[in-house]
């Protein structure tokens, strides 16, 4: 049994899983859209190392485990250096590049970053910008994303611009998810299930099980979505 391929594969997967989990917990916790090219390549290498241990019978899992830990240690050292010594960040992580300055495209920067106009337009559209005339500044981040500062006339007006009365922002609290009452959330806002049932009755719903979603906001009260909206119209 212990010599069977299934048992060996199970052991290798378990060891590899926890090794990768440990490495990702110790090293950077960036989101996918925040990782640098080096982070991306490092993740591929880690996956490849583990894959070799699983599919290559000649490669011992302990050999691969050592390689994973060594690679993870090197990643941690690089992260430590960039955190401890600010002067190394430009070399190790790169730096943002201003590709649109004062409404004008900086072609030298684009050439240096190996960035073409089609890529720029594509990234701008993802920021809801469909013309370069709308931009005052555009910055290419280390992760490959783009940050945009629009010209004043194309900015979304703020409450202050429109001279509107200031209102405090209230965070909604989820009370029901898929027919299940989140009791802890309900008590946190100072109500109980009796109050919740009375509120749901106002929407023509007799059972909490028939509520797909419900939340509560201090400034707006309760909002209820039934499982089958047409049933309660």
pLDDT tens figures, 172-224 = 999 999 889 999 999 999 999 999 999 999 988 988 999 999 999 988 899 99
Q: Are residues 101 and 86 in the same domain?
A: no
- From first CA to last CA, the distance across the chain in angstroms is 62
Q: What is the pLDDT of residues 124-166, one digit of tens each?
A: 999 889 988 999 999 988 777 889 999 988 888 877 777 777 7
Same domain for 129 and 180, yes or no, is no
Q: What does the DSSP 8-state code read for residue 164? A: P
Query: Are 75 and 148 within one domain?
Result: no
Query: Is there a single domain that holds both residue 60 and residue 120?
Result: no
Report how many domains make up the chain. Answer: 3
Supply the CATH number for residue 202's domain.
3.30.240.20
Q: Is residue 161 domain-resident?
A: no
Is the separation of the CB atoms in 203 and 214 below 8 Å? no
165 lies in some domain: no
Question: Same structural domain for residues 22 and 80?
Answer: yes
- Which residues form the domain of 186? 173-232
- Are 117 and 188 within one domain? no
In a domain, 178, yes or no: yes
Task: Residue 70: count other Cβ atoms within 10 Å of its Cβ.
Answer: 11
């Amino acid at each position: 049994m212990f010599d069977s391929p299934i048992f060996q594969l199970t052991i290798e997967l378990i060891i590899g899983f926890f090794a990768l989990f440990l490495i990702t917990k110790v090293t950077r916790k960036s989101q996918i859209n925040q990782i640098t090219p080096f982070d991306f390549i490092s993740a591929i290498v880690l996956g490849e190392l583990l894959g070799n241990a699983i599919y290559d019978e000649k490669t011992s899992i302990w050999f691969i485990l050592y390689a994973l830990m060594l690679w993870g240690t090197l990643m941690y050292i690089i992260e430590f250096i960039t955190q401890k010594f600010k002067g190394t960040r430009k070399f190790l992580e790169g730096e943002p590049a201003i590709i649109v300055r004062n409404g004008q495209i900086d072609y030298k920067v684009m050439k240096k970053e190996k960035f073409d106009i089609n890529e720029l337009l594509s990234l701008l559209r993802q920021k809801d910008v469909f013309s370069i005339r709308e931009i005052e500044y555009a910055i290419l981040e280390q992760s490959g994303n783009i940050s945009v500062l629009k010209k004043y006339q194309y900015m979304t007006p703020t409450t202050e611009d429109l001279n509107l009365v200031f209102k405090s922002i209230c965070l909604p609290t989820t009370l029901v998810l898929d027919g299940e009452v989140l009791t802890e959330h309900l008590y946190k806002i100072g109500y109980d299930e009796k109050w919740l049932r009375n509120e749901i009755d106002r929407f023509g719903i007799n059972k909490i099980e028939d509520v797909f979603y419900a939340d509560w906001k201090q400034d707006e009260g309760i909002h209820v979505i039934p499982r089958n909206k047409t049933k309660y119209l």
